[in-house]
C-alpha cells in the first residue's frame, strides 16, 4: 500500500495502524517524492490525501494511473465538500475509487479498506 499525506502526524498514525493490521505500507509526506519512487504493479492500493501543498491527491493519482492503470485508490479529506466534489467527478460505479472523510478512527478506516479490497 502507498500512503501519501503532507501531514507527518497523520502519516505516522495511519501507517502504524495499517501495519498493526498486517498491511505493508510505504509512506510519504511529499507527493512528488512518492511519484518519483512509484513502481508499477507494486501496490494494491493508494491512500492519498486530496488536499496537499505540492500536488493534490487527484493529480498524483492521475499521474500514477499513467504508469499503472490497475491500482485502486482511496482518497481521504477533512473537508466533506472537497471529498464530495471530487467523488462526483469520477464515473460511477467505480470499483477502483473509495472516498473516506477525516477524521476517522483507524479501526473504521481498516474496515472500509478491507471491504473495498474484498478482504
User: In angstroms, rounded to a whole number, what is the distance separating the alpha carbons of residues 43 and 50?
Assistant: 19
pTM score? 0.87
- Region 31-55: mean pLDDT is 94
Q: What is the mean pLDDT of residues 64-85?
A: 79
Residue predicted with more confidence, 104 or 81: 104
CA dist 23 and 40 (Å) reads 18
The pairs formed by 18-23 with CB atoms below 8 angstroms and a separation of 24 or more are 18/106, 18/110, 18/113, 21/110, 23/113
What pLDDT is recorded for position 102?
A: 82
Instruction: Give residue 101's pLDDT.
Output: 84
The answer on pLDDT for 114 being more than 70 is: yes
Q: What percent of the chain has pLDDT over 90?
A: 68
Domains and CATH numbers, the chain: 2-116 (3.40.50.2300)
The answer, yes or no, to whether residue 119 has pLDDT greater than 80, is: no
Over residues 53-74, mean pLDDT:
92
Going by pLDDT thresholds of 50, 70 and 90, the confidence category of residue 82 is: low
> Taking residues 67-73, what's their average pLDDT?
92
Res. 77: pLDDT tops 70: yes
Amino acid at each position: 500500500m502507498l500512503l501519501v499525506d503532507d501531514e507527518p502526524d497523520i502519516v505516522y498514525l495511519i501507517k502504524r495502524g495499517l501495519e498493526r493490521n498486517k498491511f505493508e505500507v510505504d509512506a510519504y509526506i511529499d507527493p512528488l517524492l512518492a511519484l518519483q519512487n512509484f513502481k508499477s504493479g507494486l501496490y494494491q492500493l493508494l491512500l492519498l490525501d486530496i488536499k496537499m501543498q505540492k500536488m493534490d491527491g487527484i493529480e498524483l493519482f492521475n499521474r500514477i494511473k499513467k504508469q499503472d492503470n490497475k491500482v485502486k485508490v482511496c482518497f481521504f479529506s477533512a473537508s466533506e465538500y472537497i471529498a464530495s466534489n471530487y467523488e462526483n467527478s469520477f464515473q460511477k460505479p467505480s470499483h477502483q475509487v473509495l472516498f473516506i472523510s477525516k477524521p476517522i478512527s483507524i479501526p473504521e478506516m481498516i474496515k472500509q479498506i478491507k471491504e473495498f479490497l474484498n478482504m
